[in-house]
């Protein structure tokens, strides 16, 4: 067992993740020293009950966006004795544990060797995503790569960090999006090392990672473009 805790977040009004968490909970328990999740108060009552009756540490929070939920997850994790943390969006970690269990175990085993690890996608995994994600995230990743002087995939929804790095994140994180912010806090403010790796487990699966609402093609592109702009601006600004 590693000294790595999982930090994750979910907003799941329809209980979409119930069947998957039932099937992979034992996998997550075998990999991590602790499981910490922040759940929006608007999530499915059945899901909240399931999580509360499990071995997961559960914190119910108001729905104030992904960045707020992620910061609350970090604060929650810091209340533990864990020396390292793996953050992953809930849909991401459920899919990873379901389809690439061995790879997940290998990555978690290496986390204690890093201050901060940007966990990105292999080219194969990246190309499984909707085209509007792929094309806009290419721009975000290019800008973040230039800022960090290394090629990174910053938008995959997963990273890992030491408790020291987590304390800096807890103290300084305040942006609308955290994807690039946390790495820049650790790199520029904490002065700690930022490393990267690429995995297949962060591939896109429509039944797990698909959005819960319908928009037109143009609206979808515009939404992803706005996200790209916010994350990119954060990468260029935070810690300077």
Question: CA dist 43 to 39, 53, 68, Å?
Answer: 7, 16, 16
Full domain range(s) for residue 110: 4-237
- What CA–CA distance (Å, rounded) separates 67 from 191? 22
For position 210, what pLDDT does the model report?
76
Start-to-end CA span in the chain (Å)? 38
Q: What is the pLDDT along the chain (240 residues), one digit of tens a residue?
A: 679 999 999 999 999 999 999 999 999 999 999 999 999 999 999 999 999 999 999 999 999 999 999 999 999 999 999 999 999 999 999 999 999 999 999 999 999 999 999 999 999 999 999 999 999 999 999 999 999 999 999 999 999 999 999 999 999 999 999 999 999 999 999 999 999 999 999 999 988 887 655 666 899 999 999 999 999 999 999 999
Tokens read off for 194: 């930022």
pLDDT given at position 98: 97
Instruction: Using alpha carbons, list the distances in angstroms from residue 83 to 6, 15, 75, 79, 106.
Output: 11, 31, 14, 11, 18
Please tell me the total count of domains within the chain.
Answer: 1
Query: What pLDDT, on the 0 to 100 scale, is given for residue 216?
Result: 67
pLDDT at residue 57 in the model: 98
CATH for 35: 3.90.550.10
The predicted structure's pLDDT at residue 184: 99
Number of H helices, E strands in the chain: 11, 7
Quote the pTM value. 0.96
**How many CA atoms are closer than 13 Å to the CA of 219, on its beta-carbon side?**
4
């Amino acid at each position: 067992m590693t000294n790595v805790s999982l930090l994750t977040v979910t907003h799941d009004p329809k209980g979409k993740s119930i069947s998957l968490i039932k099937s992979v909970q034992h996998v997550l328990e075998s990999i991590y020293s602790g499981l910490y999740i922040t759940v929006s108060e608007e999530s499915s009552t059945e899901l909240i009950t399931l999580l509360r009756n499990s071995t997961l540490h559960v914190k119910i929070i108001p729905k104030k966006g992904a960045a707020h939920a992620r910061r609350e997850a970090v604060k929650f994790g810091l209340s533990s004795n864990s020396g390292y943390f793996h953050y992953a969006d809930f849909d991401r970690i459920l899919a990873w544990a379901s389809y690439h269990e061995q790879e997940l175990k290998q990555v978690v085993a290496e986390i204690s060797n890093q201050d901060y690890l940007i966990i990105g996608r292999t080219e194969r995994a990246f190309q499984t995503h909707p085209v509007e994600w792929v094309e806009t995230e290419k721009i975000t990743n290019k800008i973040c790569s230039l800022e960090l002087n290394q090629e990174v995939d910053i938008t995959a929804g997963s990273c890992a960090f030491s408790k020291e790095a987590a304390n800096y994140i807890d103290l300084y994180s305040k942006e609308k999006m955290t994807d690039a912010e946390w790495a820049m806090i650790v790199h520029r403010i904490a002065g700690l090392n930022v490393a990267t790796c690429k995995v297949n487990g962060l591939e896109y699966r429509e039944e797990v990672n698909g959005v819960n609402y319908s928009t037109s093609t143009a609206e979808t592109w515009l939404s992803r473009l706005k996200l790209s702009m916010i994350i990119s601006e954060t990468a260029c600004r935070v810690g300077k």
